[in-house]
Structures are given as structure tokens and as C-alpha cells.
Amino acid sequence: MTPFDHEIVIVGAGVAGIGAAIEFQRRGLTDFVILERADEVGGTWRDNVYPGLTVDIPTLIYSYSYAQKPDWSSLWAPQAELLDYCRDTVETHDLRPRLRFGCEVLEAWFEAEAGGWRVRLADGTELSCRFLVNASGYLSTPKWPDLPGLAAFRGTRLHSAQWPEGLDLAGRRVAFIGTGATGIQLAPKLAGVADRLHVFQRTPIWLLPKPAMRLPRALQRTFRRLPWTQRLARLLVSGFMDLVVFRRFTFYRQVAWLGWIAEWACRRHLSGQVEDPGLRDRLTPRFAWGCKRPSFSSDYFPIFNRPDVELVDDPIERLTPDGIVTSDGTVREVDAVICATGFQAFEKSALPTYPVRGRDGEDLADYWDRGRYQAFRGFAVHGYPNFFLMFGPYSVSSSSYFGMVETTARSIARCLLEARRRDAGTVEVDARSQAQEFARILRAKERSIWAGSACRGSNTYYLDRFGDTPGFRPSSHPREWLASRFAPMKHFRFQPIPAPHPRVEQPAESG
Ligand code: NAP
């Protein structure tokens, strides 16, 4: 009988939280609750509803391996379909009773005497648990541009991650800031709707084509009848993506030619889509492909051929109540400012989205601020016993997000089961193991694309304020898959359950 409200609390009901819950359930770790601040599951696929949002990683690898969906409508499934997929997975695995919506976690702290965690919620209540698993996402806190005058702008001002239902920009003059993975999806949906669209580009982006690819019915039927064909397709796509995308990150020098091929393909794509050579030049990055997240679009570049769309690459100086002023002194009066300016990825206090105080009372955000981002195998941090991260620093090792959710959840479940087997109260990664792994990661970075001058001027969010790349794990999916099953437990310290304090009865007050 556990003295806690729950053995496990999972924070966040996005893809990672759902995946963790399913893994725990399958392993017999059934005493858990999932806390979700919103009123529905789905995380990023619930919050981001801007027009044009589709996944830009082939859907064949964008699903749980144990919940294959043979009838994806497209190789790039739209947001609504992905949200439905999350909901369906929750139903199929009977997770609804475990979900508590409208539960925003404000802080969590480790109680050494109890050997567990207390979690304070926004409604003032508290919960206790033996194990705390954070799945609050690392791209969940929108990042607004730090531009003078933005708050005083009088027109519509919104971030792509907070798109209001039914927003109509027809006939309005729109300033569009940001040309990352979101910007290239959203801007084409506004071109031709807005009276005038000014796209403010700070850094150009390498773009590979993304042709519309509906999954043919015959293929869907084959996947349904012969599920192994879908598994095979998944394996091939995932292997190819990892080879092209990830090998280049981790073994940049050895496979530099892969990047040259990608750059050549991007240039060809651009020249096939944009007529004006001057414009093409302004849209061409001056840094190597792969410094920023590889992006794909077949409808972004053509918008710049339109007379009602303008590419602005003079830096933004400030906003006025009615418009935007660039460094060359030009004032563009606009009715709306749309910021597709991304998320606070590895920025202080964005991961997790609430303070987490470990054994010594130090907030994890402060610990990382002092000692740089680090987490053993991306999921455990020394000094934070019984606390685990779905997607902590150095956890992303593959292009298959779902694949990583599965390996991370399995690794965490193994720790929890090992604690149970040893009758231990706490499990904590050993300081030396964490330090050794961090040193190995830093050495590996020297072989990566970010080590030399190739990424100068890319402004990539992959590099944090320390010049580290916590968004990447120099590993591979097969390696992480094996580690999640067979890695030795010697890196973790298991401590006995603290003896309960004898209850001191208060003498009854006399008189
Ligand atoms: P992002 O990649 O961080 O891009 C933000 C954009 O805003 C960049 O172009 C950035 O310019 C620009 N920006 C930021 N502050 C600015 C300022 N003060 N002035 C001018 N420009 C400014 O964000 P994102 O496009 O939202 O993508 C974030 C991540 O979300 C992606 O990497 C991806 O992992 C995920 N995502 C996935 C999908 C999908 O289909 N699966 C779709 C969208 C997003 P700089 O380049 O100069 O910094």
C-alpha cells in the first residue's frame, strides 16, 4: 500500500505523456494519473491549429509502433487527423479514467523523508507521488519576438501557437514574422487572403520540396490486410530519414556530401519556384543545410511571385501602434501582426514548464543554468531522485518522435520496475555516470555540424546559450532502442524506502 496519492504522476497528455502512460500500463505500473492543464489530450496537436498545419515528417513514422493507423489520409497528415489519432489512442488504451484535465502544475518538490514528490496545482490543491514523470513538452511555451513597441501595437497581434478559431484576415494588411517550420506552412495560407502580406525574414531557410501525397486506397488496404507491410515501410522511411538527417548532425565531416546534395536540391527547388533572381538570392541561406531544422514545403516560395506579398529582410527596428518600422526607416502600416516565432526550447524555466526542486531544494532550471543542460540518456538527472523526463536535454536521437517516446518511456519503466523489484524507495542516476555521459556528448559535438563555422549566421535554436546542443543526442534510434531494453542498471542508485516516522501522539489538552 503506497503512502502516496499515486505511485506515478505524469505531467502532460501530449504524445509523450500518452506514450508514457501506455508503456507503464503495459508493464503493470497501473497506479498513475496524468495531469493536463488543458481540457483535451494531444499537446502540440491540440494547441497548434493554425491554417495549413500538417506534420512535416512522413506519417508512416509519426505514430506509435503499437498503434499503427493504416488509413492516414496523406503522407503529411493534417493537424485535425493527428489530434484524432491522439484521442483514439487514448480511448483504445482506456486512458480516459486516468486523465485529469484543467490541472496545471505550478511546482513540484522532492520530499526526502517520504522518498517521493509533492505537486502543487493551480487550484491550490496538492498531490503526492513516488515517481514524477514530466511530459510537458519542449516546444510548448510560445516565444514572442523581443521587439520594441510590440505590446503597444493596436491591431490584431497573435502567435501562431494561439490561433483563434474563425480568425478572418481577408482584406487586412498583415505583417508576418518568422520563417521557420511554422512560418513556411502558415504564410502560404494567408497569401491571397490578406490584402497585403509582408513576410519579415530574419534568416532564410533551406527548403526541400513537400509534394502533396495522399495515401492511395490500395496502399491503405494493403496496410490494413498485411500490417507487416506498414511496419516494413516504417522501418525503411525511418532508416532513410535518420541516415540523411541525423548522421549529418553527428558525423558531419564524414558525410558532408549528404548536405551538399540536400543544398543542391534546395537550390533547384527554389530556382524552379521563384522567378526573380534577386529574390532567390535573398531567400538563399548562407549557412550549411542541417544547421537549422530541415524543412519541407512546396507552396512557400511561390507566394513571393505574387504582387500582394512582400519579402522584407531589413531587420525590424520597432513597432508603432499602427505598423512596423525597419532599420532602413521604412514604415509599413498593418492591421495585424502574426508571430510565427517559435517556442522557448532550451530556455530557462521552459523545460519543465514549472519549478522542480530536487533533493537539495534546487530548482532544476537553476541547476541547468549553473551546470549547463544535462540529463543522463535524456531522461534522468542526478539530484532529482524518482523524477524522469520525457524529452529532456540530449534526448532527441531520431527523426521518429514517436519512436523516441517509446524508447524513453520503456527506459523509465525499466527504472521503476527495477525499483519495485529491489523494493527500493528511490532511484537516482549516479553523478559520475551523468558526468561521463555529458563529457562524451560534448566530445561528439566536436564532430557535428555545429562545431565549426558552417552554421555561422544560422541563428539556429539548436544551440543554447552555452553553445551546447541539448536538442540532440549523438546516437541513433537502433542504439536507443537497444539501450531501452538492455542497458545495465549500474548507472542508477536504488535506495531503500525511508522508514516511516513513528507517529507522536499529541497529549490531549486538559481543562
Ligand atoms: P522556429 O523554427 O524557432 O522559427 C522561428 C522563426 O521566427 C525564425 O524564422 C526566426 O528567425 C523568427 N524570429 C524569431 N524572433 C524574431 C524576431 N525578433 N524578428 C524576426 N524574426 C524572428 O519556430 P517554428 O517555425 O514555430 O518551429 C519550431 C519547431 O516546431 C520546429 O523546429 C519543429 O520542431 C516544430 N514544428 C513542427 C511542425 C511539423 O509539421 N511537424 C510544424 C511547425 C513547427 P531566425 O531564424 O533568425 O531565428
C-alpha 90 – ligand 1 centre gap (Å): 29
d(CA 231, CA 60): 9
Does residue 184 share a domain with residue 120? no
C-alpha 183 – ligand 1 centre gap (Å): 7
pLDDT class of 299 with cuts at 50, 70, 90 = very high
| Backbone φ/ψ region at 233: left (φ over 0), alpha (ψ -120 to 50), beta | alpha
Does residue 135 share a domain with residue 150? no
C-alpha 414 – ligand 1 centre gap (Å): 35
C-alpha 463 – ligand 1 centre gap (Å): 14
C-alpha 145 – ligand 1 centre gap (Å): 11
Please give the average per-residue pLDDT across 142-161, as a whole number: 96
Please give the average per-residue pLDDT across 253-266, as a whole number: 88
Neighbours of 189 (CB within 10 A): 16
Closest-CA residue to 401 (of 86, 159, 142): 86
- Measured by CA distance, the residue closest to atom 41 of ligand 1 is 55
Pocket test for ligand 1, best of 83, 202, 395 (most atoms within 8 A of CB): 202
Does residue 175 share a domain with residue 133? no
Tens digits of residue pLDDT in 204-246: 999 999 988 899 999 999 999 999 999 999 999 988 888 777 7
In a domain, 395, yes or no: yes
Give the pLDDT score at 423: 94
- Print the domain residue range for 366: 6-47+70-141+350-432+476-496
Give the pLDDT score at 500: 57
Place of cell 511554422: 182
What is the pTM assigned to this prediction?
0.93
- Specify whether the CB–CB gap between 425 and 497 falls below 8 A: yes
In a domain, 375, yes or no: yes
C-alpha 388 – ligand 1 centre gap (Å): 27
Does residue 397 share a domain with residue 326? no
- Specify whether the CB–CB gap between 492 and 380 falls below 8 A: yes
Give the pLDDT score at 503: 46
In a domain, 118, yes or no: yes
- Measured by CA distance, the residue closest to atom 26 of ligand 1 is 342
d(CA 306, CA 165): 27
Does residue 156 share a domain with residue 133? no
Query: Of all atoms in ligand 1, which is nearest to the CA of residue 76?
Result: 40
Closest-CA residue to 191 (of 297, 77, 299, 78): 299
Query: Of all atoms in ligand 1, which is nearest to the CA of residue 179?
Result: 9
Query: Of all atoms in ligand 1, which is nearest to the CA of residue 339?
Result: 7
Does residue 40 share a domain with residue 185? no
Three-state SS annotation for 154-222: CCEEEEHHHCCCCCCCCCCEEEEECCCCCHHHHHHHHCCCCCEEEEECCCCCCEECCCCCECCHHHHHH
Query: How many residues belong to the chain?
Result: 511
C-alpha 329 – ligand 1 centre gap (Å): 26
- Specify whether the CB–CB gap between 2 and 26 falls below 8 A: no
CA 329 to chain centre: 37
Does residue 184 share a domain with residue 74? no
- Measured by CA distance, the residue closest to atom 23 of ligand 1 is 342
Q: Which of 342, 376, 408 is the last residue of a domain?
A: 342
pLDDT class of 248 with cuts at 50, 70, 90 = low
- pLDDT value at 505 more than 70: no
Query: Of all atoms in ligand 1, which is nearest to the CA of residue 160?
Result: 26
Please give the average per-residue pLDDT across 143-150, as a whole number: 97
Pocket test for ligand 1, best of 182, 298, 338 (most atoms within 8 A of CB): 182
169-to-70, 153, 210 alpha-carbon distances in Å: 36, 17, 26
- Single-letter amino acid code for the residue at 221: R
In a domain, 281, yes or no: no
Q: Report the interhelical angle of 79-92 vs 15-26 (nearest 10°).
A: 20
Q: Which of 305, 326, 342 is the last residue of a domain?
A: 342
In a domain, 287, yes or no: no
Give the pLDDT score at 239: 87
- DSSP-assigned beta bridge partners for residue 134: 11, 389
**Ligand 1 site residues, Cβ closer than 6 angstroms:** 55-57, 139, 145-147, 177-183, 185, 200, 202-203, 293, 316, 340-343, 459, 461
Does residue 114 share a domain with residue 79? yes
Tens digits of residue pLDDT in 365-404: 999 999 899 999 999 999 999 999 999 999 988 888 999 9
| Region of poorest pLDDT, from 91-95, 252-256, 469-473 | 252-256
Tens digits of residue pLDDT in 22-69: 999 999 999 999 999 999 999 999 999 999 999 998 998 999 999 999
Pocket test for ligand 1, best of 249, 341, 344, 400 (most atoms within 8 A of CB): 341
Tens digits of residue pLDDT in 339-368: 999 999 888 888 999 999 999 999 999 999
Cis peptide bond upstream of 352, omega within 30: yes
Give exposure, 69-96, as e/b (b: 16+ Cβ within 10 Å).
bbebeebbbbbebbbebbbebbeebebe
Q: Which of 309, 342, 375 is the last residue of a domain?
A: 342
C-alpha 202 – ligand 1 centre gap (Å): 11
Does residue 129 share a domain with residue 26? yes
Place of cell 543544398: 263
Give the pLDDT score at 200: 98
- Measured by CA distance, the residue closest to atom 20 of ligand 1 is 202
Closest-CA residue to 405 (of 15, 10, 27, 32): 15
The x, y and z cell numbers of residue 389, run together, are 523526463
- Specify whether the CB–CB gap between 319 and 325 falls below 8 A: yes
- Three-state secondary structure call for residue 237: helix
| Backbone φ/ψ region at 349: left (φ over 0), alpha (ψ -120 to 50), beta | left
In a domain, 444, yes or no: no
Query: Of all atoms in ligand 1, which is nearest to the CA of residue 181?
Result: 25
> What total number of domains does the chain contain?
2
d(CA 273, CA 271): 5
Rounded percentage of the chain residues whose pLDDT exceeds 90: 81
- DSSP-assigned beta bridge partners for residue 208: 296
CATH number at residue 491: 3.50.50.60
C-alpha 144 – ligand 1 centre gap (Å): 11
Give the pLDDT score at 327: 97
Please give the average per-residue pLDDT across 406-429, as a whole number: 97
Query: Of all atoms in ligand 1, which is nearest to the CA of residue 461?
Result: 3
Query: Of all atoms in ligand 1, which is nearest to the CA of residue 161?
Result: 26
Give the pLDDT score at 508: 43
C-alpha 347 – ligand 1 centre gap (Å): 14
C-alpha 203 – ligand 1 centre gap (Å): 10
In a domain, 440, yes or no: no
Does residue 484 share a domain with residue 394? yes
d(CA 438, CA 73): 41
- Measured by CA distance, the residue closest to atom 12 of ligand 1 is 178
C-alpha 460 – ligand 1 centre gap (Å): 9
- Three-state secondary structure call for residue 134: strand
**What is the rounded radius of gyration, in angstroms, for the C-alpha atoms of the chain?**
24
- Specify whether the CB–CB gap between 358 and 381 falls below 8 A: yes
- Measured by CA distance, the residue closest to atom 24 of ligand 1 is 342
Helix, strand, coil share (%) of the chain residues, nearest 5: 30, 20, 50
Does residue 77 share a domain with residue 22? yes
d(CA 218, CA 208): 27
Does residue 87 share a domain with residue 29? yes
C-alpha 177 – ligand 1 centre gap (Å): 9
The x, y and z cell numbers of residue 483, run together, are 539501450
- Measured by CA distance, the residue closest to atom 11 of ligand 1 is 202
Rounded percentage of the chain residues whose pLDDT exceeds 70: 96
C-alpha 496 – ligand 1 centre gap (Å): 46
HSE (side-chain half, CA atoms, 13 Å) at 207: 29
In a domain, 98, yes or no: yes
